[in-house]
């Protein structure tokens, strides 16, 4: 982005959800028996395995599909997924790490100003919607980025999108719209 | 095909008769006996009748029974809310459109019922008749979140735009619900509804200016404002002794839990302003502030400005005094940013800085945002902690949640590092442990079945 009056806007990623496949059938009972940090949920048909080092929780299905949540970056998610696959390999399954994909990224960001939500919604209908009785934030959905931004009147944002790049782009796109509707922090 | 005027292809005679074999129509030549032509076995056309079953059994088309019931429900809701004719007609139109929209064609009856309320809600909003989602969910006896979800779906599918209501618009209707006029309660507790509304509106506006309204549900705020307005209109001992509970009982209104917190928050703001009144000698506490409410509300803008100025001066003194102290703390800012990985993006700040928007003595917060590594007194992220430096701020900022301590190893992760065996082994039980675990599970399940 260009220079002049630049200020750093910290976008902090709080959660990355990724999926991958092991290309083999997994015996959930064996995993529950021989793995530590494992919770078996027979009623749903999955096993929850928690890793310590990247703080990650994985849902493992017997079909070999695994969903990892809790990572704080895409690379960390990949590392955690590989660690998990390695762990399953050691337990005796013929695991092949494949089809790794980051599915969702959740990030928070804080504007240095407060936002007047009613003006913001009026200026951006129908992309933005705000129902104060239902939820305190205005929701702004960017279709082509598949990102959803929730704007709170204190200036905090919550952004979800399919990958980190989209999330950053979404924040950059919405910033000027928020800037026009800023309100002084106190009257 | 009639028999007359045909020639038998075999012998050429014209003597052809209709000689049906069972139910098959046949034209047969009398002279040589050959079959000239034959029809199908039955008179029905091949592949079914030309006329479809539903058409043959159709009766005159009637509008769907549920649609009629729905329209009657819309009418009932409109009558209960006593809206005008225009709104009622618009609601009927919207309901018909929504009912026949493919998104709502196969939904449950309960959803269609809630749809009636949503149509009324949208029409009221568009024609400037403020009602809340809470009122509609009360009338429909449904959860307000469900009503909200269906409302948003409907608005999206029908592509209609409805303005958002302001709390100040709705408060008139809300105050009306309180049975506190002289017909319902003894004289000393009675209050004129118009006066009550006026005072309550002023209180709500004050609350809106001091960050109490934003992000909160509107009804508890209105309840708190009405209660305080009622108390302040005649602040005698009798009324001051009335708690929110008792007030709601007298006014025959259901009390909401969060209204109590709102009352406390509004009283706090009133105290902050009450301190600025020049002729008040004693200290202003939440107990004795009610008598001053009338005065505060009449001069609230002037008092707000004074309060801001006093606060600014106090801050200035503080910062000057502590300027001589410890050297600025620099990169502690990164450590504040928790164990999450920050990505910093440089965003262009458009146009002039908020200098143009700054009113004299009004804006406390300095919009020149400090770059990440600067050393200032506030080592925490400035936007997040502006609550500590400003007189009025929303509670979520004043009592900001503490972030967890950062774990630096996470900043240098790539996805493709080596994974050592020892790491993985920590996640796997040794065979002995596995056997013990299996044994323990068996014992547990045995004891469970023994107990039951």
**What would the two tokens of residue A33 be?**
């028996």
Is the bond leading into A173 cis (omega within 30 degrees of zero)?
A: no
Flag if B340 and A12 touch (Cβ within 8 Å): yes
Partners of B354 on chain A (C-beta within 8 Å) are: 113, 182, 184
Average pLDDT over residues A148-171: 93
Distance of CA A153 to the CA centre of its chain: 22
Which residue in this structure is represented by tokens 């001589």?
B324
For chain B, what is the mean pLDDT? 76
% chain B with pLDDT above 90: 6
Among B residues 302-341, those touching chain A with beta carbons less than 8 Å apart: 304, 308, 337-341
Shared-domain flag, residues A20 and A96? yes
> Contacts from A116-124 at CB under 8 Å and sequence distance 24+?
A116/A153, A116/A181, A116/A182, A116/A183, A117/A151, A117/A153, A117/A181, A117/B214, A118/B164, A118/B166, A119/A181, A120/A151, A120/A177, A120/A178, A120/A181, A121/B164, A122/B163, A122/B164, A123/A177, A123/A180, A123/A181, A124/A177
- Say whether both A116 and A94 belong to one domain: no
Judge whether A9 lies within some domain.
no
Is A132 contained in some domain?
A: yes
> A73–B341: do the CB atoms touch at under 8 Å?
yes
**DSSP code per residue over B388-439:** HHSSS--HHHHTPPPPPPP-GGGGG--TT----HHHHHTTB--HHHHHHHHH
Is residue A99 located within the same domain as residue A120? no
- What CA–CA distance (Å, rounded) separates B219 from B204? 11
Average pLDDT score over residue span A29-40: 89
What ipTM describes this predicted complex?
Answer: 0.72
Shared domain for A68 and A37, answered yes or no, is: yes
Half-sphere exposure of B55 (CA within 13 A, CB side): 4
Domain boundary among A54, A85, A103: A103
Rg of chain B on CA atoms, in Å: 39
Q: CATH number for the domain including A120?
A: 3.30.310.10
CA distance B68 to B79: 17
Q: Name the residue range of residue A48's domain.
A: 15-103
A82 and A31 in one domain? yes
Dihedral, B95, B96, B100, B104 alpha carbons, nearest 10: 10
Q: In terms of domains, do A71 and A35 share one?
A: yes
Our CA-based measurement puts residue A88 at a distance from the nearest CA of chain B, in whole angstroms, of 9
A96 and A23 within one domain: yes
Specify if A186 maps to a domain.
no
Coil/strand/helix, residue B66: helix
CB of B217 within 8 Å of a chain A CB? The answer is: yes
Q: Decide if A19 is inside a domain.
A: yes
Given A83, A103, A123, the domain boundary residue is A103
Asked if the structure places residue A6 within a domain, the reply is no
What pLDDT is recorded for position B324? 60
Q: Is residue A69 part of a domain?
A: yes
User: Residue A187: inside a domain, yes or no?
Assistant: no
Is residue B61's pLDDT more than 50? yes
**Do residue A30 and residue A91 come from a single domain?**
yes
The reply to whether residue A131 touches residue B428, judged by beta carbons under 8 angstroms, is no
Note the Cα B233 to chain centre separation in Å. 34
Q: For chain A, what is the domain count? A: 2
Residues 76 to 115 of B: which have CB under 8 A from any A CB?
none
| Counts of helices then strands in chain A (DSSP H, E) | 4, 12
Say yes or no: A130 and A171 in one domain: yes
CB neighbour class for B21 (10 Å; exposed up to 12, middle 13-18, buried from 19): exposed
Are both A116 and A99 inside the same structural domain?
no
Q: What are the pLDDT digits (tens) for B358-394? A: 333 333 333 222 223 333 333 334 444 566 667 777 7
Considering only residues B59 and A29, tell me which one the structure prediction assigns the higher pLDDT.
Answer: A29
Tokens of residue A160, six digits: 């979800």
Is residue A83 domain-shared with residue A127, that is, in the same domain? no
Q: Chain B partners of A118 at a C-beta cutoff of 8 Å?
A: 164, 166
Given an 8 Å threshold on Cβ–Cβ distance, is A11 in contact with B342? yes
8 Å CB contact of B164 and A121: yes
- The answer on pLDDT for A62 being more than 90 is yes
Interface with B, mutate which of A156, A184, A187 (most B CBs under 10 A): A187
User: Which of B5-9, B188-192, B220-224, B385-389 has the least mean pLDDT?
Assistant: B385-389
- Residue matched to tokens 């009982």: B249
Q: How far apart are CA B120 and CA B129, in angstroms?
A: 10
Of A43, A73, A103, the residue at which a domain comes to its end is A103
Residues A98 and A49 in one domain: yes
**Position A8 in a domain:** no
**pLDDT tens for residues B130-169?**
888 888 888 888 888 899 899 988 888 888 888 877 777 7
Contact B427 A35 (CB under 8 A): yes
Q: Considering only residues 121 to 150 of chain B, which have any Cβ-Cβ distance to chain A shorter than 8 Å?
A: 132-134, 144-145, 148
A6–B341 C-beta distance less than 8 A: no
Question: Above 60 in pLDDT, residue B351?
Answer: no
| Residues 171-210 in B contacting A (C-alpha not used; CB under 8 Å) | 209-210
């Amino acid at each position: 982005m260009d220079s002049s009056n630049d200020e750093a806007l910290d976008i902090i990623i709080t959660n990355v959800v990724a999926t991958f496949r092991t290309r083999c059938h997994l015996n959930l009972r064996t995993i529950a028996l021989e793995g530590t940090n494992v919770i078996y949920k027979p009623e749903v048909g999955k096993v929850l395995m928690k890793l310590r080092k990247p703080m990650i929780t994985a849902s493992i299905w017997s079909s070999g599909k695994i969903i990892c949540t809790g990572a704080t970056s895409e690379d960390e998610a990949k590392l955690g997924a590989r660690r998990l696959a390695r762990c399953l390999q050691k337990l005796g399954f013929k695991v092949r790490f494949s089809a790794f994909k980051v599915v969702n990224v959740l990030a928070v960001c804080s504007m240095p100003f407060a936002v007047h939500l009613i003006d913001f919604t009026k200026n951006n209908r129908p992309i933005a919607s705000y129902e104060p009785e239902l939820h305190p934030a205005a929701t702004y959905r960017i279709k082509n980025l598949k990102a959803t931004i929730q704007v709170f009147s204190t200036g905090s944002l919550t952004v979800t999108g399919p990958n980190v790049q989209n999330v950053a782009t979404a924040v950059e796109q919405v910033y000027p719209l928020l800037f026009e509707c800023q309100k002084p922090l106190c009257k | 095909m009639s028999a007359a005027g045909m020639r038998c292809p075999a012998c050429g005679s014209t003597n052809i008769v209709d000689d049906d074999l069972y139910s098959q129509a046949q034209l047969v030549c009398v002279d040589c006996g050959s079959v000239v032509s034959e029809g199908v076995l039955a008179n029905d056309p091949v592949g079914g009748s030309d006329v479809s079953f539903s058409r043959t059994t159709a009766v005159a088309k009637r509008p769907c029974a549920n649609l009629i019931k729905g329209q009657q429900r819309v009418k009932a809701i409109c009558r209960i809310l006593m809206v005008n004719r225009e709104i009622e007609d618009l609601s009927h139109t919207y309901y018909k459109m929504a009912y026949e929209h493919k998104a709502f064609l196969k939904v449950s009856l309960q959803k269609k019922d809630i749809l009636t309320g949503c149509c009324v809600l949208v029409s009221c909003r568009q024609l400037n008749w403020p009602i809340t989602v809470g009122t509609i969910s009360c009338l429909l006896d449904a959860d307000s979140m469900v009503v909200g979800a269906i409302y948003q779906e409907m608005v999206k599918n029908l592509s209609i735009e409805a303005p958002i209501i302001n709390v100040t618009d709705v408060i008139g209707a809300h105050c009306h619900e309180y049975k506190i006029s002289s017909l319902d309660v003894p004289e000393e507790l009675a209050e004129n509804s118009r006066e009550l509304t006026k005072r309550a509106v002023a209180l709500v506006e004050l609350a809106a200016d001091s960050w109490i309204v934003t992000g909160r549900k509107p009804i508890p705020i209105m309840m708190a404002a009405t209660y305080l307005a009622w108390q302040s209109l005649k602040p005698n001992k009798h009324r001051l002794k009335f708690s929110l509970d008792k007030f709601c009982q007298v006014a025959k209104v259901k009390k909401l839990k969060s209204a109590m917190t709102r009352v406390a928050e509004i009283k706090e703001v009133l105290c902050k302003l009450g301190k600025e009144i020049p002729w008040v000698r004693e200290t202003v506490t939440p107990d004795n502030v009610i008598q001053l409410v009338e005065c505060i509300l009449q001069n609230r803008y002037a008092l707000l400005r004074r309060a801001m100025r006093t606060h600014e001066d106090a801050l200035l003194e503080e910062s000057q005094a502590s300027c001589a102290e410890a050297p600025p703390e620099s990169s502690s800012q990164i450590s504040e940013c928790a164990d999450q990985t920050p990505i910093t993006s440089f965003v262009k700040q458009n146009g002039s800085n908020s200098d143009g928007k700054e009113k004299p003595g009004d804006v406390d917060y300095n919009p020149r945002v400090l770059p990440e590594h600067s050393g200032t007194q506030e080592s925490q992220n400035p936007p997040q902690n502006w609550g500590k430096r400003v007189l009025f701020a929303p509670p979520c900022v004043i009592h900001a949640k503490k972030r967890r301590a950062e774990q630096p190893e996470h900043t240098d992760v790539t996805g493709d590092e080596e994974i050592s065996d020892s790491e993985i082994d920590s996640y796997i039980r040794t065979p002995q442990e596995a056997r013990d675990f299996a044994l323990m599970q068996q014992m547990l399940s045995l004891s469970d079945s023994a107990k039951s």
